Amino acid sequence: LTSSPTSSGMHVIFIAAEMAPVAKVGGLGDVITGLGKALQKRGHLVEIILPKYDCMQYGRIQELRALDVVVESYFDGRLFKNKVWVGTVEGLPVYFIEPHHPDKFFWREQFYGEHDDFKRFSFFSRAALELLLQAGKKPDIIHCHDWQTAFVAPLYWDLYAPKGLNSARICFTCHNFEYQGTAQASELASCGLDVQQLNRPDRMQDNSAHDRINPVKGAIVFSNIVTTVSPSYAQEVRTSEGGKGLHSTLNFHSKKFVGILNGIDTDIWNPAIDTFLKVQYNANDLKGKAENKVALRRHLALSFADSKQPLVGCITRLVPQKGVHLIRHAIYRTLELGGQFVLLGSSPVPHIQREFEGIANHFENHDHIRLILKYDESLSHSIYAASDMFIIPSIFEPCGLTQMIAMRYGSIPIARKTGGLNDSVFDFDDDTIPLQFRNGYTFLNPDEQGLNGALDRAYNHYKSNPESWNQLVQKDMSIDWSWDSSALQYEELYAKSVARARAATSRA
Ligand code: ADP
């Protein structure tokens, strides 16, 4: 079943539900590709296992082919065949699992949000381990991500290590503790896990609903390494306010829990070579950025009479976490200040989608406001390039990527001080922070006054001192947001865990 490690590096398997650009819903997809590439660059063999969704961007998969072998995996008391495909995405080898199950788990025209997500992903988690076992792979690290593949941790130790897939340490990264995938305890039996054994307070039992099973809790308990996506968020989730019910579990397992700030894929997010842009540009050529601003304004039929009128951008999933009421407020505040606002976002929450459709219609032919309520990768690049400021008023934010992408494209972030935003955006006016680190505008209180405080200061800076503003833009564009240093931290965690396991085996 194709490649085995050739380098002296580690063999790392990612099992995940998303991967940019072929199957991306949000930041998780970016992380799989960005971290995967950075580890590969450091000499590790990284292989990825994904579901074979019908709605993937197949054009972005190179050399996709079906393997001759069929992997049979257990579910609901019987074996199901899985067709396995292999291809390359952004230079990374990827296995795609296509279950031959009558429920057509990944044939739903969307990635998540199905009534049987628990079934779909517990099936996938088991099939992924079965693939590794049957292929005779001996990975050093199996790295699973978020609740959808959290089942991998208990499945590995309870079922697959005893079957001989026992070379690996398990790493689990939680990209957002809001999504824990809980279900009735009995549902866990479908993938072959022992409900009696696991529905216990020290294992997978949900901390508040005792008849429910919590996959994220299970992965925290059963993994060797547990990470989340920024140091500040790692602190926040260990408190009762921020932990979404898992703070006590995280505190109990604190020795193996750490927050590592995500990076961004600086090949994909690079204004100097970005083919989505009208004009490529870099920190020494801000004329190019200005041309992108004109192009976007034309494209969206916004007024382009005043080149010095600031353009505020926002690209986001419209969910309560992102501070939707503050995003709405920012639109009106920007208008009051005399700026322009472009929002690209879509919502899985019907009443939020409807509310923003109302605002979009209200401003349909407006000179200064445009709301585009869909997912559009190409347009997202144009907005990062065209905007002068970028608003991220999240209520909580595990890491957040848009602030980093915005800075790389010279758009100054205006962000709430929470989670990963607190670790990456530093207020221009904050004298307690060394000048060289100050890169944006921040506010603490998640209310309209808080947001106004930061947005107004940014606006005034832009208007009153263009030269200093341009220096800030140039500085932000030069910040290194690549995965290099974060990948090194993951590598160190992996290596330490592997070394501990080897030391334990040699002592035994
Ligand atoms: P989250 O994972 O919570 O959605 P992140 O900030 O970590 O938030 O990642 C968001 C990613 O998704 C960024 O790459 C952003 O550009 C992209 N994105 C969000 N909404 C859209 C959209 N409507 N169209 C295109 N890209 C989007």
How many angstroms is it from 228 CA to the middle of ligand 1?
Answer: 18
How many angstroms is it from 25 CA to the middle of ligand 1?
Answer: 7
How many angstroms is it from 213 CA to the middle of ligand 1?
Answer: 29
> Cis ω on the peptide bond leading into residue 21 (within 30° of 0)?
yes
Distance, in Å, from the CA atom of 421 to the CA atom of 181, rounded to the nearest integer, reads: 25
Q: Is the CB of 380 under 6 A from ligand 1?
A: yes
Helix (H, G, I), strand (E, B) or coil at 98: strand
Whose tokens are 């601003």? That residue is: 293
The first and second tokens of residue 348, run together, are: 């899985």
Please report the beta strands in 295-450, taking only residues with DSSP state E, as ranges in sequence order.
311-317, 340-346, 369-372, 389-392, 412-416, 441-443
Q: Is the CB of 401 under 6 A from ligand 1?
A: yes
Q: Is the CB of 34 under 6 A from ligand 1?
A: no
Question: Among candidates 137, 124, 126, which has minimal Cα distance to 47?
Answer: 137
* Ligand 1 site-directed mutation target among 380, 384, 409, most atoms within 8 Å of CB: 380
Q: Is the CB of 344 under 6 A from ligand 1?
A: yes
pLDDT by residue, tens only, the chain of 508 residues: 545 555 579 999 999 999 999 999 988 999 999 999 999 999 999 999 999 999 999 999 999 999 999 999 999 999 999 999 999 999 999 999 999 999 999 999 999 999 999 999 999 999 999 999 999 999 999 999 999 999 999 999 999 999 999 999 999 999 999 999 999 999 999 999 999 999 999 999 999 999 999 999 999 999 999 999 999 999 999 999 999 999 999 999 999 999 999 999 998 899 999 999 999 999 999 999 999 999 999 999 999 999 999 999 999 999 999 999 999 999 999 999 999 999 999 999 999 999 999 999 999 999 999 999 999 999 999 999 999 999 999 999 999 999 999 999 999 999 999 999 999 999 999 999 999 999 999 999 999 999 999 999 999 999 999 999 999 999 999 999 999 999 999 999 999 999 999 898 888 7
Q: Is the CB of 30 under 6 A from ligand 1?
A: yes
**Please, are residues 55 and 109 in contact by the beta-carbon 8 Å criterion?**
yes
Residue nearest to atom 24 of ligand 1 (CA): 375
HSE value, Cβ hemisphere, 13 Å, CA-based, for 123: 27
How many angstroms is it from 200 CA to the middle of ligand 1?
Answer: 36
Q: Is the CB of 21 under 6 A from ligand 1?
A: no
Q: Is the CB of 376 under 6 A from ligand 1?
A: yes
How many angstroms is it from 432 CA to the middle of ligand 1?
Answer: 31
How many angstroms is it from 20 CA to the middle of ligand 1?
Answer: 11
The first and second tokens of residue 137, run together, are: 């792979």
**Please, are residues 443 and 454 in contact by the beta-carbon 8 Å criterion?**
yes
How many angstroms is it from 26 CA to the middle of ligand 1?
Answer: 5
Q: Is the dihedral of CA 28, 31, 37, 40 positive or negative?
A: negative
Q: Is the CB of 470 under 6 A from ligand 1?
A: no
How many angstroms is it from 28 CA to the middle of ligand 1?
Answer: 9
* Ligand 1 site-directed mutation target among 265, 317, 319, most atoms within 8 Å of CB: 317
Phi, psi of 180 (to 5 degrees): -115, -10
Q: Is the CB of 26 under 6 A from ligand 1?
A: yes
How many angstroms is it from 377 CA to the middle of ligand 1?
Answer: 9
How many angstroms is it from 456 CA to the middle of ligand 1?
Answer: 25
Q: Is the CB of 230 under 6 A from ligand 1?
A: no
Question: Among candidates 304, 299, 309, 303, which has minimal Cα distance to 276?
Answer: 299
- ipTM above 0.85? yes
- What atom in ligand 1 is closest to the CA of residue 346? 23
DSSP-derived pairing of the beta strands 441-443 and 340-346: unpaired
Q: Is the CB of 116 under 6 A from ligand 1?
A: no
**Please, are residues 99 and 105 in contact by the beta-carbon 8 Å criterion?**
yes
What confidence score (pLDDT) does residue 508 get? 74
Rg of the chain, C-alpha, whole Å: 23
Question: Among candidates 459, 319, 306, 280, which has minimal Cα distance to 27?
Answer: 319
Q: Is the CB of 319 under 6 A from ligand 1?
A: no
Q: Is the CB of 10 under 6 A from ligand 1?
A: no
Distance, in Å, from the CA atom of 265 to the CA atom of 35, rounded to the nearest integer, reads: 8
How many angstroms is it from 355 CA to the middle of ligand 1?
Answer: 20
Torsion of CA 429, 416, 20, 237, to 10 degrees: 120
Helix (H, G, I), strand (E, B) or coil at 346: strand
Per the DSSP assignment, residues forming a β-bridge with 92 are 89
Distance, in Å, from the CA atom of 396 to the CA atom of 418, rounded to the nearest integer, reads: 6
